[in-house]
Amino acid sequence: MTSRTAVVDLDGVLYTGDTFAVLARHRYLRSPGRALAVAANSPRLARAWCHEHRRPGVLRELAVRAVAGMPRSSYDALARELGKRMACSRRVAWDGVAVLTALCDAGWRVIVVTASEHELASAYLHGAGLGAVELIASRLDPAAGRFVLHNYGAEKVRQLELAGCPRWDLAYTDSLSDLPLLARAGRRILVNPSDAVYRRAAGRLGSEPETVRWGRR
CA gap 76, 55 in Å, rounded: 26
Ranges of each domain in the chain: 5-212
Is the pLDDT higher at 28 or at 83?
A: 83
CB atoms within 10 A of CB 95: 16
Closest by CA position to 60, among listed 122, 147, 135: 147
Residue percentage of the chain with pLDDT more than 70: 88
Neighbour-count burial for 24-45, b at 16+ CB within 10 Å, e otherwise: beebbeeeeebbeeeeeeeeeb
pLDDT in tens, 18-59: 999 999 889 988 887 776 666 656 677 567 657 666 666 666
Going from the C-alpha of 84 to that of each of 104, 161, 192, the distances in angstroms are: 21, 29, 24
Strand pairing report for 210-212 and 185-191: parallel
pLDDT in tens, 175-207: 999 999 999 999 999 999 999 999 999 999 999
Domain 5-212 sits in CATH at 3.40.50.1000
Q: Is the pLDDT of residue 169 over 90?
A: yes
Please state the pTM of the whole predicted model: 0.90
Q: Is the pLDDT of residue 6 over 60?
A: yes
Give rounded-to-5 percent helix, strand, coil for the chain. 50, 20, 30
Residue 155's pLDDT band, with cuts at 50, 70 and 90, is: very high
pLDDT score of 177: 94
Q: Are 13 and 116 in contact (CB under 8 A)?
A: no
Mean pLDDT computed over 111-133: 97
Strand pairing report for 185-191 and 168-173: parallel
pLDDT score of 1: 45
Residue 208's pLDDT band, with cuts at 50, 70 and 90, is: very high
CA gap 155, 90 in Å, rounded: 30
pLDDT score of 56: 65
